[in-house]
Amino acid sequence: MRYTISEMASLLGVTTHTLRYYEKMGLIRPEVNEETGYRYYTVTDTRRFNLCREFRAAELSLEECRELIGRPTVEQSDAVFDRQIAQLQRKQVLNELSIQFLEHTREQYRTLEQDAERIWVENFPEMWRLSFSQEEEANRDKELQQEKAEWLECMPAARWVSRLPRRVMEQFRACRHEYDYGLMMEADAARRLGLQRTRHVEVVCGGDYLTTIWKKDYRGSFGWDSLDGLHEEIVRRGFRAVGETFSSIVASREQPDGSIVNYHLTRTKIYT
């Protein structure tokens, strides 16, 4: 059985453009009538096309398809399959973590206004942190930038989080209100996603944090007012010591007058 390009396209449910592109890539090889220039496809071409279609559905590239239907050694085909299996397993983990993020955020949205300005103690797990900016100025180190790109691919498991050193709370309004930007994620999630503990990655201890939702209704950098409630509660409760403070956005709302209010989850490590 031989098919014209239009017959082949109709049979496979694709466009003639797709068939020409697959031919250009060397994935199918129709017979060509030298006199008329017409292409004729056979069952061999349909089988090769559909095998590539299955590989593509498993998110292999066309180049990898070409390698697998060429003359690969066992070592070469193993390398392609092993690499893609690892990538899909990582994607599976990230999808699971993304679902957890959305479920958790859904719950936060349900009680957003009730939790705004409320202060409570919440237990957080051990985290990994990649810091890349002192206040608004980014670190230009190439190795760090590569790690940053890898971590950004792990969002939303990785969250964009500002950090304030412990002295900000210990010397409230007496020291400089300093902070840095970075990405954070649970240590267990980082391990499952295959991230490495490099010299740029630090461990943030888990445990109890004094927590609040703070509403930021201005466009400037964070001011001391963002920490007033937490600091007053620290003084009132008389904790033995405090650690670093972390802040990340959880919601953003447009107001009737067109202004923007961002809701930040802000937490300070406490030692009771």
Strands (DSSP E) contained in the chain are 31-32, 39-40, 119-124, 127-134, 137-138, 159-164, 180-186, 201-204, 207-216, 241-254, 260-271
Give me the pLDDT at residue 31, please.
92
- Taking only the tens place, the pLDDT of each residue in 119-151 is 999 999 999 999 987 755 666 788 999 999 999
The tokens describing 27, both together, are 């994935």
Cα–Cα dist 68/70, whole Å:
5
> Is 105:256 a contact under the CB 8 Å cutoff?
no
Residue pointed to by tokens 């230009």: 140
Mean pLDDT of the chain: 94
Q: Would you list the DSSP string of 73-94?
A: -HHHHHHHHHHHHHHHHHHHHH
Does residue 232 surpass a pLDDT of 80?
yes
Per-residue pLDDT band at 33 (split at 50, 70, 90):
confident
Give me the pLDDT at residue 53, please.
97
- Taking only the tens place, the pLDDT of each residue in 63-78 is 999 999 999 999 999 9
Q: Nearest to residue 270, comparing CAs of 215, 206, 183?
A: 206
- Taking only the tens place, the pLDDT of each residue in 80-132 is 999 999 999 999 999 999 999 999 999 999 999 999 989 999 999 999 999 98
> Is 269:242 a contact under the CB 8 Å cutoff?
yes
